[in-house]
């Protein structure tokens, strides 16, 4: 084989090597696509005031309840009152006709000596308020001393809170608190009275809260009382959804954004919280960018991309 032929063969071999090398590079490029990035939304921590409180249950109760009693044995007549009616002190509540008067009803009423005995005995209300219980109806036979009705003074409404003695340093007369109603409404209140006794079984002490403006509430309503025990101002805080924890809730962390594309796991120490925010005692600063949406399931050093709220 002459030299010219050998050179041609070498040239063809070089072309083949370059071709296969080029194909290999293309396949390598196709096999290594750009890593996927999780879309996230970030925020910066804010400062917020927090109040730690104990939560107790309270029960509404009327303190002043007076009864109307029968002053003689007989039949109840002229009784028009019913539960829920308002009555004023001194108002005629009912009349009672004795058995003797009932026996004399057929005797000639023109007899002067008997007429005075035929007048029914009147029973008057001994206080003002709302009739909360009526025990008899017209025509019933009642005995002297029987309770005919109960009158409740609506201004005597109080909220009774039974407090475990372990909280005696936080709950006392004059302490401010917040009362929460079943519909979510809250009102400020003050503890105004305390019982000098402790229940021997539950070891709780009763405290009384009076409502401002003499609010008319039903009795036996269960309300929630928040009593503050600790307050902190200008605490570094984050939304609750930005803070992650393990199953035993003894480790907490957040995902912090670094270089606009890298999420790193940062252990934090949480503190007080409210309905939407939680204090961060250590782990983050006010200038950090913390992932608030898209952080769940991310591992340390995950690649991410920023996403605006309006794009979601």
Read off the pTM.
Answer: 0.62
Lowest mean pLDDT among 111-125, 160-174, 231-245: 111-125
Separation CA 161–CA 209 (nearest Å): 8
Which of residues 116 and 36 earns the better pLDDT score?
36
- Name which CATH class applies to 66-152: mainly beta
The token duo for 11 is 């040239």
Statement: residue 6 has pLDDT above 80 = no
Give the C-alpha separation, 33 to 51, whole Å. Answer: 51
The Cα–Cα gap between 119 and 192 comes to 49
3-state helix, strand, coil in the chain (%, to 5): 20, 45, 35
Q: Please report the pLDDT score of residue 113 as a whole number.
A: 59
pLDDT tens-digit profile of 206-228? Answer: 999 988 765 678 889 999 999 99
Around Cβ 220, how many Cβ atoms within 10 Å?
9
CATH code: domain 57-62+156-231 is: 2.40.30.170
| CATH 2.40.30.170, the chain: domain bounds | 57-62+156-231
Considering the chain, tell me which residue range(s) the CATH 2.40.420.20 domain(s) occupy: 38-52+233-311
Among the residues of the chain, which ranges form H helices? 3-31, 99-103, 112-115
Q: To the nearest whole number, what is the mean pLDDT of the chain?
A: 85
Q: Mean pLDDT across the stretch 238-251?
A: 93
Helices (H) and strands (E) in the chain, counts: 3, 22
Both ends of the chain: CA-CA distance in Å? 73
CATH code for residues 38-52+233-311? 2.40.420.20
């Amino acid at each position: 084989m002459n030299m010219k032929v050998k050179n041609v063969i070498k040239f063809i071999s070089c072309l083949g090597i370059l071709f296969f090398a080029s194909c290999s590079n293309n396949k390598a490029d196709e096999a290594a696509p750009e890593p996927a990035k999780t879309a996230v939304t970030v925020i910066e921590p804010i400062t917020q005031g927090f109040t730690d409180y104990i939560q107790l249950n309270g029960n509404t109760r009327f303190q002043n309840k007076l009864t109307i009693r029968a002053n003689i044995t007989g039949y109840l007549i002229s009784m028009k009152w019913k539960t829920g009616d308002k009555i004023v002190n001194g108002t005629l509540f009912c009349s009672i006709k004795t058995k003797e008067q009932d026996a004399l009803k057929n005797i000639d009423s023109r007899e002067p000596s008997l007429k005075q005995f035929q007048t029914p005995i009147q029973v008057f209300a001994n206080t003002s308020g709302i009739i909360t219980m009526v025990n008899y109806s017209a025509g019933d036979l009642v005995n002297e001393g029987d309770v005919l009705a109960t009158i409740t003074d609506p201004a005597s409404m109080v909220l009774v809170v039974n407090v475990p003695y372990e909280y005696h340093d936080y709950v006392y007369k004059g302490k401010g608190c917040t009362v929460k109603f079943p519909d979510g409404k809250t009102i400020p209140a003050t503890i105004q009275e305390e019982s000098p006794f402790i229940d021997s079984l539950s070891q709780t002490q009763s405290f009384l809260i009076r409502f401002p403006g003499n609010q008319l509430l039903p009795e036996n309503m269960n309300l929630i009382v928040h009593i503050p025990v600790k307050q902190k101002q200008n605490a570094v805080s984050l939304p609750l959804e930005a803070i992650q924890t393990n199953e035993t809730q003894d480790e907490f962390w957040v995902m912090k954004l670094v270089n606009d594309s890298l999420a790193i796991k940062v252990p934090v120490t949480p503190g007080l919280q409210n309905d939407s925010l939680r204090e961060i005692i250590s782990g983050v600063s006010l200038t950090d960018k913390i992932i608030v949406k898209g952080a769940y399931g991310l591992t340390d050093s995950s690649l991410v991309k920023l996403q605006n709220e309006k794009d979601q």
